[in-house]
């Protein structure tokens, strides 16, 4: 019995050491387990942080009001200015500037406001207001406005009927040209073109 006692003691020591190592000994990091309420609080803080980092949606901006298109400024209607503007306009639309010069020279002698010719024609190009009710007196006597209408109109007549007939149609209207009117006017304008009498 005495001889076997040391073995029993040794076995008890081994078992006790194992029990202490597995159950009773503190964990390696010596940190207590986090409480449940602490975990919930940490998650809530993370959620709040994520919300704070989300950028706010931009506010809709009001649609800007479009600026009005600037209208061409009225130019002084002296001969030099009128010739310059007619030449520029003729170049834009493909009209020979000599044709425009000769017509204006024949019509008004470069006077933007010569009054009426007795038939209701006024201005630099002598636009006939009764025949063209869409053209106002103010437009017909303004260099820019009248040229912007008359130069394309003259080009259309020449392109459609040829130079002589087109000039007659510009003067007497297409129906008048077909009735034989406006040809004396056309011949005089052609003479001015050929002799540079502007």
Percent of the chain, pLDDT > 90? 56
What is the per-residue pLDDT for 4?
A: 52
Task: Please give the model's pTM, rounded to 2 decimal places.
Answer: 0.62
Q: Between the CA of residue 66 and those of 60, 69, 81, 139, what are the distances in Å?
A: 18, 9, 32, 27
pLDDT at 81 over 60: yes
Q: What is the pLDDT of residues 22-59, one digit of tens each?
A: 555 555 445 555 454 444 444 444 444 444 455 566 56
CB atoms within 10 A of CB 185: 17
Q: Quickly list H helices, the chain.
A: 5-19, 36-53, 79-93, 97-108, 137-140, 143-161, 163-178, 183-195
Class of domain 79-195: mainly alpha
DSSP letter for 123, please. T
158: Cβ contacts below 8 Å, ≥ 6 apart: 95, 99, 166, 167, 170
pLDDT at 197 over 90: yes
Question: Where are the chain's structural domains?
Answer: 79-195
């Amino acid at each position: 019995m005495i001889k076997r006692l040391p073995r029993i003691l040794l076995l008890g020591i081994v078992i006790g050491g194992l029990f202490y190592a597995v159950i009773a000994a503190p964990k390696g990091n010596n940190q207590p387990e986090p409480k449940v309420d602490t975990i919930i609080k940490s998650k809530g803080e993370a959620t709040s942080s994520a919300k704070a980092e989300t950028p706010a949606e931009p506010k809709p901006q009001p649609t800007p009001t479009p600026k009005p298109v600037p209208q061409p400024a009225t130019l002084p209607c002296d001969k030099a200015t009128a010739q310059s503007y007619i030449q520029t306009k003729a170049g834009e639309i493909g009209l020979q500037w000599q044709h425009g010069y000769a017509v204006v020279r024949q019509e008004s002698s470069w006077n933007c406001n010569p009054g009426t010719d007795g038939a209701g024609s006024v201005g630099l190009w002598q636009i006939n207001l009764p025949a063209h009710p869409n053209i106002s007196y103010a437009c017909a006597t303004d260099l820019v406005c009248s040229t912007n209408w008359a130069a394309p109109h003259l080009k259309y007549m020449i392109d459609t009927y040829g130079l002589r007939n087109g000039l007659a149609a510009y003067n007497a209207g297409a129906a008048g040209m077909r009735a034989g009117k406006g040809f004396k006017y056309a011949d005089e304008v052609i003479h001015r073109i050929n002799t540079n009498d502007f």
